[in-house]
Amino acid sequence: MVSTHIGFPAETVIVFVFLAVGAIFIDLFMHRHDKPISLKSAALWSVFWILVAMAFAGFLYVHHGAEVASLFVTGYALEKVLSVDNLFVMMAIFSWFSVPDNLRHRVLYWGVIGAVVFRGIFVAIGASLLTLGPWVDIVFALVVLWTAVMMLKSGDDDAIEDYSQHLAYRIVKRFFPIWPKLKGRAFLLSQKEVDAELAKPENENITVGRIGKVAMYATPLLLCLAVIELSDVMFAFDSVPAVIAVSREPLIVYSAMMFAILGLRTMYFVLEALRQYLAHLEKAVIVLLFFIGAKLGLNATDQLWHHGYNISANASLFIVLSVLAVGIIVSVLFPGKPDAEESKEG
């Protein structure tokens, strides 16, 4: 595995923080209203986020060389591709909770903020663990390979999970009583708001429990957000080791994941609209996970037995982009069947 050892030069950290914080504020300001995001708008914003990431890659190229820029782009592309499966899970969660289109970007915004925080924690932990020796690489490799095998075994299973049994759902339910209906963009409702809702004729059959001297009630929007956040944390257990396989440098790993995550909110709406034409992209994700597992395994065995075999930064970038391109081309040539309209209870 290639290690750049560029450390954390002040100018690089400043540029990264400036671009990342600026992007978050732009996203918050431009999508502050609760209205659906069109495919055209989502596509244009997705291109914008890619250009922001490539601008940082250009900065790395100028200040740290082609190899460092290549490592960043490889990690960025890998995180983007691996995020596809996570976004499909989010679609199922939104559908189960019956979250309307105009509120999904609100949930995704807080979901992205949570992902940024948790990725930072996991990258710090993962990078620290790697200092313990090559056996940690082997553990990471097994985690990634196990994920690939599980995805391969799941195949085209379209069974809808009952998210009322999800750990995050049960945790929220333990601390908050549940108001079963969406109430605008609210995640929580006060006792006064719930009493006002119960007074309406259409809600006369609704009964809500109380937990002690409760002050707030959780809405389905909060339950949905909790499920998405915990699902993303579980996803990070796979994606962080995968990106760490590209580079051990925490700055490269975290910046690659950060810029990839910032574009996920608009990427979600693109994937939702084009899901039929990305039917085989998950197979590309599985192939890349096997590749990353092999890369981690090569790195570990090279450190243990010095066989001299490894995969260069440029070769990794070529493989990741090639597998992604093949997945997209095959999906366009052989699209999946349109999703049937299904009624799900939330």
The pLDDT value given to residue 266: 82
The pLDDT value given to residue 158: 52
The DSSP bridge pattern shows strands 188-190 and 216-218 to be antiparallel
The pLDDT value given to residue 342: 41
Q: Give the number of C-alpha atoms closer than 13 A to the C-alpha of residue 196, restricted to the C-beta side.
A: 6
The pLDDT value given to residue 3: 45
The pLDDT value given to residue 1: 42
The pLDDT value given to residue 336: 66
The pLDDT value given to residue 7: 61
The pLDDT value given to residue 159: 53
The pLDDT value given to residue 223: 94
The pLDDT value given to residue 39: 82
The pLDDT value given to residue 171: 93
Full 3-state SS string of the chain: CCCCCCCCCHHHHHHHHHHHHHHHHHHHHHCCCCCCCCHHHHHHHHHHHHHHHHHHHHHHHHHHCHHHHHHHHHHHHHHHHHHHHHHHHHHHHHHHHCCCHHHHHHHHHHHHHHHHHHHHHHHHHHHHHHCCCHHHHHHHHHHHHHHHHHHHHHCCCCCCCCHHHCHHHHHHHHHCCECCCCCCCCCEEEHHHHHHHHCCHHHCCCCCCCCCCCCEEECHHHHHHHHHHHHHHHHHHHHHHHHHCCCCCHHHHHHHHHHHHHCHHHHHHHHHHHHHHHCCHHHHHHHHHHHHHHHHHHHHHHHHHCCCCCCCHHHHHHHHHHHHHHHHHHHHHCCCCCCCCCCCCC
> Digits of tens for pLDDT over the chain (346 positions)?
444 445 667 888 888 888 888 887 887 777 666 677 788 888 888 898 899 999 999 999 998 888 889 999 999 988 888 887 788 888 889 989 989 888 888 888 888 888 888 888 888 888 888 788 888 888 888 888 888 888 887 765 555 577 888 899 999 998 888 898 888 889 999 888 888 888 888 888 887 776 556 678 999 999 999 999 998 888 888 788 888 888 888 888 899 998 988 888 888 888 888 776 777 788 888 888 898 888 888 888 888 888 888 888 788 888 888 988 888 888 888 876 655 444 444 4
User: How many angstroms separate the CA atoms of 246 and 2, rounded?
Assistant: 7
- 124's CB contacts (< 8 A; 6+ apart) are 250
The pLDDT value given to residue 341: 41
